[in-house]
Structure 1
Amino acid sequence: MSLAVSLIAPSSHTAPAAVAAGIRGLESLGVEVRVEEPLQAPERYLAASRERRLAQLHAAYADPGTQAVWAVRGGYGAAQLVAGIDWDRLARHPKPLIGYSDVTVLLDQCRRHGLPAIHGPVAKAAGGLFDADEASREVIRRQFEETLALLRGPAPLDYPLTAHRPAPPTLQGPVVGGNLATLASLVGTPAAFRAPPGALVILEDVGEPYYRLERTLWQLVHAGALDEAAAVCLGTFEGCTPHGETTLEAIVAKTLAPLALPLFTGLPIGHGLHNRPWRYGAAGRIENGCLRIAT
């Protein structure tokens, strides 16, 4: 099955060379990439004005010839769009939105409005198919191929993880979450994240010192965002600065203590090289050191 995708820039501005490299990478995998020109009209650090980014999002969904809407990058700005999205309009041509990081905001909103979404590599990361070293290129290729497989049809995927402390032998529920700092930034807004009942919540981040990670997780916990969750699963925390000998797992476990939630670590998901895709809001099952996410 040939695939065509609509490229959008809902958040930060991306260097044109990085956009071009990402498009070239996707095309090397047999994907037709449709781009509304110009893709960006930079405003401060944003890809364009809020109005322009909203119009681009609506146009991408309205294109009947594409099977997905793919964010070129995250950064900042997606939350600005939420109040202006016409969800009935998007639902006329339902298709998965792909991205992560700041795009976490839109992935969770898609789930709430009954639209499909995939937490996975942003389009510009496909440039690594040419620019990265050989070993990294192979990892990137597998992750993009997994993402395309999710677009083509049923494709349950397994992800290794490790229990930080004794946990129930089996846990199951919808898989949600994403970037920790982004989710915490939504507290107190109409787009505030709240894990659905029984949710398996994945968290990841990049470039944050441990005290900021603790602060943002504390905010989510005490805002009630995780009150109905069944477990927290940690992805990668790329470039996050430790404090002394205390591990991030210990900090997270202590912060989650009021909720007595099982904690798992080691998911190959996040801002590092390993960022495997998963269907946002799909049914997940944790058993025998594995998280299986259904179609």
Structure 2
Amino acid sequence: MSRVAQPRPQVAPLRRLEPGDAVALVSPASWSDESWLAESVATVESWGFKARLGKHADDRFGYMAGGDPERASDLNVAIRDPEVRAILTLRGGSGSLRLLRDVDTDALRADPKPLIGFSDITALHQVWHQAGVPSVHGAVAGTRAETVLRLLRGETGEPVRRDNGQYGAYLTTTGTASGPLFGGNLEMLARSVGIVDNDLDGHVLLLEIHRTVGLGMVDRALTQLLLSGALDGISGVAVGTLEGFDDYEDRGWNVLDVLRDRLSPLGVPILAGLPLGHLEDPVSVPLGVECELDADAGTLTVAALSA
């Protein structure tokens, strides 16, 4: 497979959404039940936008929302439609990685619009990052769903604050860092090495980790990113949820031991315990725009998504 894109160009300006703009709802990964599709459409319409449900958004092909051509088609139809000003992915799961070489990046660069999603959608966020188009790590779910609305309107979100009660918060070190924020699901970032060349020099790396197997998965993924050079030059690390790891140990180590061992040699500030990722009420943040990480204050402040 050829690599997805050439080195990342300058960040494209996005237009803030206005009432009446269209938002596409697509399923590039796993499928959702009918109630979630209906709830998502209702939420988007309650914000004053036109909801455009992808033609194949409720298809089913095993654990994916239809075959690869159908899922890619819905994504590209949304990218190419000048009336669509944002693309909301209905859920993660599995399947986004299959679509990396099918995204119409020329159309995306010609008409930049943000992608919204997290977890498996990290695979596609990398395509947006390569194209120089900001996106949103998050979801229209939970009590903080309207964070996405504020971001689409061009508002600057409130600083994301460390939750000292969240597992892993004490992984936080000291110091400050700045630069564009980019990252997402650790496994998806590692799986994309050799397919997507992420230039993260000067970036603050966002990581959220979902336990599917043991600590070895985390070690292998971080080691792959380190040895590939993908993390060369990063300025800081923002750590979100570590779902499924809070009661898990392997021969005396937990996931924090692995993270500390693999990330400490980078010599950059780490801010952990952020409510980003697999949570009932996740915070949504822009990717590809400037941020300020303050490990001492326990805050991550991210610039506006749109001009």
Partner SS, residue 206 of structure 2: strand
- Contact kept, 8 Å, 1:163 with 1:289, in 2: the verdict is no
1:125-165 residue CA offsets vs partner (Å, 9 max, x unmatched)? 3xxxxxxxxxxxxxx23x22111111111414311136736
Q: Does 1:99 align with 2:127?
A: no
Partner SS, residue 171 of structure 1: strand
Q: Name 2:185's counterpart in structure 1.
A: 179
What runs of 5+ residues in structure 1 fail to find an aligned partner?
Answer: 126-139
Q: Name 1:239's counterpart in structure 2.
A: 244
Q: CA RMSD in A?
A: 2.2
- Contact kept, 8 Å, 1:195 with 1:228, in 2: the verdict is no
Give the share of equivalent positions with the same residue, in percent: 32
Partner SS, residue 167 of structure 1: coil
Q: Which has the higher contact order (CA 8 A, sep 6+)?
A: 2
Paired residue for 2:265, among 248, 258, 279? 258
- What's the offset of the Cα at 1:166? 4.4
Q: 1:54 to 1:165 in 2, by over 3 A?
A: closer
Could you tell me how far apart the structure 2 residues matched to 1:219 and 1:90 are? 29
Q: Name 2:66's counterpart in structure 1.
A: 48
Q: 1:107 to 1:38 in 2, by over 3 A?
A: closer
Paired residue for 2:52, among 34, 41, 44? 34
- Contact kept, 8 Å, 2:30 with 2:91, in 1: the verdict is yes
Q: Does 1:67 align with 2:85?
A: yes
Could you tell me how far apart the structure 1 residues matched to 2:154 and 2:132 are? 18
Could you tell me how far apart the structure 2 residues matched to 1:159 and 1:220 are? 25
Q: Name 2:282's counterpart in structure 1.
A: 275
Paired residue for 1:87, among 88, 105, 108? 105
Partner SS, residue 242 of structure 1: coil
Q: Name 1:132's counterpart in structure 2.
A: none
- What's the offset of the Cα at 1:54? 1.6
- What's the offset of the Cα at 1:68? 0.6
Q: TM-score, normalised by structure 2?
A: 0.81
Partner SS, residue 203 of structure 1: strand
- The runs of at least 4 consecutive aligned structure 1 residues that moved more than 4 Å come to none
Q: Name 1:202's counterpart in structure 2.
A: 206
Q: 1:71 to 1:281 in 2, by over 3 A?
A: same
- Contact kept, 8 Å, 2:24 with 2:88, in 1: the verdict is yes
1:249-289 residue CA offsets vs partner (Å, 9 max, x unmatched)? 23201122332333221111011123211111111112332
- Contact kept, 8 Å, 1:176 with 1:195, in 2: the verdict is no
- Contact kept, 8 Å, 2:208 with 2:242, in 1: the verdict is yes
What runs of 5+ residues in structure 2 fail to find an aligned partner?
Answer: 1-17, 163-168
- Contact kept, 8 Å, 1:269 with 1:277, in 2: the verdict is yes
- What's the offset of the Cα at 1:247? 4.2
Q: Name 2:298's counterpart in structure 1.
A: 289
Q: TM-score, normalised by structure 1?
A: 0.85
